[in-house]
A and B are shown apart, each in its own frame.
Chain A
């Protein structure tokens, strides 16, 4: 049986799901995520769970309670070819970064084509369940298994639209290269060369308003995160402080002791963004910027089949690097819900429902590389 790993954001009723946080240490959900059910039905074996940075937003897991070196666990597991693929919740691009830095493929599908039922919620308006694998073909096989309408998720497209998106499609002929500064520029240049060898027309364009995706997504993501993690109060499940005299102290101390620094930062920022004082200037503005970016991409896709851009600023992180800054590369697809595929250390973004076409392009580039 083909083995699949899951990340710690995906609920299973058989084993704990901790969201990479001390807050949910030992928490076992009461049900399986829809993607888990779909994989089992199709005959895949769920082989285990891999750690994530806290609530899947932490860059390298520096504040994750279970120890350092989290994010590359997926990469290490996939080195071992007994595991076919790893399913991860892409909230702020963490799995895309892991794939880029470790020479793996990751497909973040079009928003609303893979069910989010059973995901620990963080930033519901943009997070997507994606597939990491050693090559595009494996990625596609697993993606085709997990796409499809789920009555338990009210934000999904019709079953036909979901399935067509993941299926193979017309080849990509014209690619726009988004100019964004990165230390990993050699990967972009190498990909451009392979594309040219494949007869693909390439044209460089300015990032323009797309450069604002990072600021917009950080606001929206933190606002939604702040609201979604408010439920963890130490009463019904998860971590509870030993240090309290009344209910307020129970709430406050449980949260203070269990959440890490990045999460606290996100909670404070998100709370501020949603406050009556700042709502119009920040949250509402971010929603407007989101729409403008969607329109900017639509403009690009009138002339091109896909966009090529970096996935990371560098090939390895230190503790000084910030998730909120690294979002610059992954936020454009997160904030718009567009499909993104990471391959050869770079990122491809296509129009909605072009997941299959992006994977086909990734496959072509793989062959060129060997």
Chain B
């Protein structure tokens, strides 16, 4: 018998806000344990939640990027359960009227294109982190993550293979990064997912028994888990190796197996009800339109524009549209310098070099596109030499600066003083008669040595073509 796998995903994404969802504590990743906490996110009595507007902005943005309908009145609800990482014994989430519903995400795999339906996107707060100490047999709680804003993206069971799941997650990551909703770093836990999986005979319209694997945070582990779980289900159906039950399972990537979780960890009635301390959030037209207007072009739309309108190659366009930060910088530079190829070159080779040296990713590029454009103009106008321009670029990574002003202050402006160049050239020739003789004798390399010495003497501030011409002229005169 042939089988098909039916998979639905619940993806949790930490939003890129500065502060937490209901208090003003920092939402930064890291920090000393229990550094980013206050009475509110520690669940102390007496504090009241105030919704961070930026969280709703990003929730709407995510909804629009995933072609969802935005609920113009969206509410927050309480979900009750006891766990030491949840200090108030309830999580504030969205149960009755989530911010976005009924969307789609287009994916492409070797089997072709597919549209994955999104059931809903809701906003909620994260829980804390338990730190177990096996040595002393104790558990401690770090509340830095409590109340960090999350969105949960719930798909319909439209995925049918590990390959499609990976394509779906990569597409989500690309769209959410592009819209600056989240940095989606799985290794830091800012993107993680629950995999709901069942298996049924091909062509059947009845769903099989569903199991859920929680908190998966690496693409390769997800692939292995789906393959293992699919095989386990098929084995159980075909060979009766075990009876499948609807349950939550934990994936152990080291052992390469999934294990049933104790029913106590999963069972329970969450007793949802509307949080009376948070008024329904009403999204008026002005707010809706402002978010709509702030949406970025989809990466593939940008790529098409870069190749057809701006004449960039596929390779360059791919690199640039791989990161919103590169696109923003590129478009900023282009607006100033008007030369797409130059702007792309500076970003793809020079900027990427500096990022690599600093061990940063393209998304962490902070230099201002307008300033990069000005730098490109300085070079193309012959006002700054390319070598000095690279030094200015490096300085731009350290601080915000005006390239022209910086060039002037650091003596990087190309000199038009032919008198100074002539004097430098004469001195160089006088000091190295051997090189002159060698060049006259046909050794091209000798000219390069003289050229280098002059350029150094002039601190690089000289049009190389002009220097070369004047050097040859002087040698011929000598």
Contact A223 B273 (CB under 8 A): yes
Interface string of A149-163 (1 = CB under 8 A from B): 001111100000000
B447 contacts chain A at the CB level, 8 A cutoff = no
Contact B43 A231 (CB under 8 A): yes
Measured CB to CB, the closest approach of chain A to B334, in angstroms, equals 43
Contact A120 B271 (CB under 8 A): no
Contact A154 B46 (CB under 8 A): no
Measured CB to CB, the closest approach of chain B to A25, in angstroms, equals 14
Measured CB to CB, the closest approach of chain A to B287, in angstroms, equals 17
Q: How far is the CA of A275 from the CA of B272 in the complex (A)?
A: 8
A261 contacts chain B at the CB level, 8 A cutoff = no
Q: How far is the CA of A236 from the CA of B271 in the complex (A)?
A: 24
Contact B48 A116 (CB under 8 A): yes
Q: How far is the CA of A83 from the CA of B391 in the complex (A)?
A: 74
Interface string of B259-299 (1 = CB under 8 A from A): 00000000001011100111100000000000000000000
Contact B84 A247 (CB under 8 A): yes
Q: How far is the CA of A279 from the CA of B84 in the complex (A)?
A: 26
A297 contacts chain B at the CB level, 8 A cutoff = no
> Which of B87-95, B201-209, B468-476 contacts its partner?
B87-95
* Nearest-neighbor residue (CB-CB) of B277 within chain A: A124
The secondary structure that dominates the B interface is: loop
A29 contacts chain B at the CB level, 8 A cutoff = yes
Instruction: Give the residues in chain B near A62, CB-CB below 8 Å.
Output: none
Contact B90 A154 (CB under 8 A): no
Instruction: Give the residues in chain A near B46, CB-CB below 8 Å.
Output: 11, 29, 31, 33, 117-121
Contact A155 B271 (CB under 8 A): no
B51 contacts chain A at the CB level, 8 A cutoff = yes
Contact B273 A227 (CB under 8 A): yes
Measured CB to CB, the closest approach of chain B to A233, in angstroms, equals 7
Q: How far is the CA of A235 from the CA of B43 in the complex (A)?
A: 12
Contact B279 A155 (CB under 8 A): yes
In A275-311, the 8 Å CB interface with B consists of 275-276, 279, 283
A30 contacts chain B at the CB level, 8 A cutoff = yes
In B107-146, the 8 Å CB interface with A consists of none
Instruction: Give the residues in chain B near A283, CB-CB below 8 Å.
Output: 273
Measured CB to CB, the closest approach of chain B to A80, in angstroms, equals 29
A271 contacts chain B at the CB level, 8 A cutoff = yes
Q: Which of A233, A236, A274 contacts B273 (CB 8 A)?
A: A274
Measured CB to CB, the closest approach of chain B to A231, in angstroms, equals 5
* Nearest-neighbor residue (CB-CB) of A284 within chain B: B273
Measured CB to CB, the closest approach of chain B to A170, in angstroms, equals 29
Contact A154 B39 (CB under 8 A): no
In A115-167, the 8 Å CB interface with B consists of 116-121, 124-125, 151-155
Q: Which of B49, B82, B84, B276 has the most CB of A within 10 A?
A: B276
Q: How far is the CA of A19 from the CA of B271 in the complex (A)?
A: 25
B310 contacts chain A at the CB level, 8 A cutoff = no
Contact A152 B87 (CB under 8 A): no
Contact A231 B45 (CB under 8 A): yes
A224 contacts chain B at the CB level, 8 A cutoff = yes
Contact A233 B82 (CB under 8 A): yes
B303 contacts chain A at the CB level, 8 A cutoff = no
A243 contacts chain B at the CB level, 8 A cutoff = no
Contact B45 A120 (CB under 8 A): yes
Instruction: Give the residues in chain A near B43, CB-CB below 8 Å.
Output: 231
Q: How far is the CA of A284 from the CA of B80 in the complex (A)?
A: 17
B449 contacts chain A at the CB level, 8 A cutoff = no
Contact A227 B271 (CB under 8 A): yes
Q: How far is the CA of A291 from the CA of B51 in the complex (A)?
A: 25
A230 contacts chain B at the CB level, 8 A cutoff = yes
Contact B44 A227 (CB under 8 A): no
B466 contacts chain A at the CB level, 8 A cutoff = no
Known: A31-B46, A154-B51, A275-B271. A251 touches B82 (CB 8 A): yes
B437 contacts chain A at the CB level, 8 A cutoff = no
Q: How far is the CA of A247 from the CA of B42 in the complex (A)?
A: 19
Contact B39 A227 (CB under 8 A): no
Contact B87 A231 (CB under 8 A): yes
Instruction: Give the residues in chain A near B279, CB-CB below 8 Å.
Output: 154-155
Q: How far is the CA of A49 from the CA of B362 in the complex (A)?
A: 59
Q: How far is the CA of A151 from the CA of B278 in the complex (A)?
A: 13
Instruction: Give the residues in chain B near A276, CB-CB below 8 Å.
Output: 269, 271
Interface string of A251-272 (1 = CB under 8 A from B): 1000000000000000000010
B47 contacts chain A at the CB level, 8 A cutoff = yes
B431 contacts chain A at the CB level, 8 A cutoff = no
Q: How far is the CA of A124 from the CA of B43 in the complex (A)?
A: 15
Instruction: Give the residues in chain B near A19, CB-CB below 8 Å.
Output: 45
Known: A29-B44, A125-B276, A276-B269. A230 touches B82 (CB 8 A): yes
Measured CB to CB, the closest approach of chain A to B268, in angstroms, equals 10
In B26-55, the 8 Å CB interface with A consists of 39, 42-51
Measured CB to CB, the closest approach of chain A to B147, in angstroms, equals 14
Contact A236 B50 (CB under 8 A): no
B192 contacts chain A at the CB level, 8 A cutoff = no
Q: Which of B42, B47, B78, B84 contacts A117 (CB 8 A)?
A: B47
Instruction: Give the residues in chain A near B269, CB-CB below 8 Å.
Output: 275-276
Instruction: Give the residues in chain B near A151, CB-CB below 8 Å.
Output: 50
Q: Which of B50, B88, B276 contacts A231 (CB 8 A)?
A: B88
In A22-61, the 8 Å CB interface with B consists of 29-31, 33
* Nearest-neighbor residue (CB-CB) of B90 within chain A: A227
* Nearest-neighbor residue (CB-CB) of A33 within chain B: B46
Instruction: Give the residues in chain B near A119, CB-CB below 8 Å.
Output: 46
Contact B89 A230 (CB under 8 A): yes
In B232-270, the 8 Å CB interface with A consists of 269
Q: Which of B42, B44, B48, B87 contacts A154 (CB 8 A)?
A: B48
Known: A227-B78, A227-B273, A275-B269. A153 touches B48 (CB 8 A): yes
Instruction: Give the residues in chain A near B42, CB-CB below 8 Å.
Output: 236
Q: Which of A30, A33, A223, A228 contacts B44 (CB 8 A)?
A: A30
Contact B47 A224 (CB under 8 A): no
Q: Which of B39, B51, B273, B277 has the most CB of A within 10 A?
A: B273
* Nearest-neighbor residue (CB-CB) of A228 within chain B: B45
Q: How far is the CA of A125 from the CA of B275 in the complex (A)?
A: 9
Q: Which of B45, B51, B87, B269 has the most CB of A within 10 A?
A: B45
Q: How far is the CA of A231 from the CA of B88 in the complex (A)?
A: 5
Instruction: Give the residues in chain B near A251, CB-CB below 8 Å.
Output: 82
Known: A152-B47, A152-B50; 15 extra A-B contacts, CB below 8 A, are A29-B44, A29-B45, A117-B46, A117-B48, A119-B46, A125-B276, A154-B50, A155-B277, A227-B80, A227-B89, A227-B271, A231-B43, A235-B84, A275-B271, A279-B272
| A-B contacts, 22 listed (Cβ < 8 Å) | A30-B39, A31-B39, A31-B46, A33-B46, A121-B277, A152-B48, A154-B50, A154-B51, A154-B278, A224-B273, A227-B80, A227-B89, A227-B271, A228-B45, A231-B45, A233-B82, A247-B84, A274-B273, A276-B269, A276-B271, A279-B271, A283-B273
List of 7 A-B pairs having minimum Cβ-Cβ separation, nearest first? A125-B276, A230-B89, A274-B271, A124-B276, A11-B46, A118-B46, A231-B88
